[in-house]
Structure 1
């Protein structure tokens, strides 16, 4: 494709026409400073209509940066007069992918606009690959859903606070108000992917169990207390919030865990002997660890094991004989 070069008055460029815009909004101060210092290395690409009005094909931020600098004109590359909308969009995407890696939002925007010219996911992904995007049909389907997400959720994806897989599930499952609170929590605490999965699963279960409790989830006094506690660092806030949600989702199991720990503290274990509870207090496998430095200490621990096997508290722990404990919950 052959471009012509032309000096264009900045006032003749319609920056509000975003039909070919791919890049997300962002600060342009550094770009303006660079242009002011070393000049415009890559002129924007424009489509010039018959009446002289210009539409930006690629280089929105460059045009805006030149306006910020108070300039009246700009050197630009002009699309051929017979260029179609599909041609212009292809140039816009290729210009962006040539210079940098598109973020997820930009990939979604590009695919959404390309989908007006191409059919199924395979054809669309092939067209995107020709323009420098590395996407397969499965990823295309997921990326196309991003443009329908709320602004705050898109921003959370852009900032890296919420992975794409979590964002798509969050938007599909929860009410807008609860989704907004979850987004705020994830942006504040930045939990790992697995932690986010656990939190979403517990919140989803709690809403299913008590739909009327949706409005209070994550905004109640206990959750707010953890989230706003200035003495807690980020990892401790995550653990505190997850403990609150886990206890609400599994109240009987949480109570069992509390009683198990209370009884374990009452056991008179010899020095060097420790007891490890079942994972999440759900499994049936208990472990006793012996850490000794002499045969004499080992003999004491073995005697302690025999005594432990007759201890009523130990037996109740093994048999899960606790107050109000229902193993089916």
Structure 2
């Protein structure tokens, strides 16, 4: 048996601390080889790379350099998708739109509240970095987030016990975020890899920026199985661009579970008729072209409590969001 094979056997006895299982049990070693200078190239996957990488690197180096007398070792760490039998997984749902101003963030927030009313533990990740509004909709104070002992971000919490992560918490109040792509990528990485969600969190909604771009691609990398809910208004111009966003989501591997037509009409109490201020049919056309379903039409309406942007179940829109939440759960 070669020295490299003996080293691999010893490496397979190491424990992934976050799984409490050996490397061999969970297939942690993805590749191992030695170059012409007798330096080891090793690729290892860990369940909690950010937390365990430093200690595991030291253990590997001790084995390779001290016990087996290799002059050097290069290690690449990746994230393990191994799941324990009793491990609870979070379901991610992205909320997307083609254009800004169609009410995507309002839909995200009110859908989160509706899911909470149905008994689900819900979180929201606000990735709309240049137009972040989720904290404002929930009336959350703009202040730095606390961190855990392991330097994980502790989400802000709404009065409805919804957990929220947003770029707003990383910037001074009313200060614009003017970052280029690489910086945004680092921020989004923290949002998906460095957040201490409650252990019983079941659903996390992702409020994505309008259109297609870097963040959509980043989100696909972190949660490739996430499904998408598309928001548009009935206006032809909005639905035309929404279609592009939906097709873009399809192209990178996401499933569209349905379309929400927001600001569909205004109910005129004077004549008891619906007034279609932004036209008609945009949601239906978009859903049809995407071979999806128009899940609901949300009218223009103010909450009964005018100090809030969240509809109660006493509001017509609150009842509609409650119905939307039930349909969404059927699709997830």
TM interval, short-chain normalised: under 0.3
TM-score calculated relative to the size of structure 2: 0.22
The structure where strand makes up a greater share of residues is: 2
The structure where helix makes up a greater share of residues is: 1
Relative contact order higher in (CA < 8 Å, ≥ 6 apart):
2
Q: Which has the larger radius of gyration?
A: 1
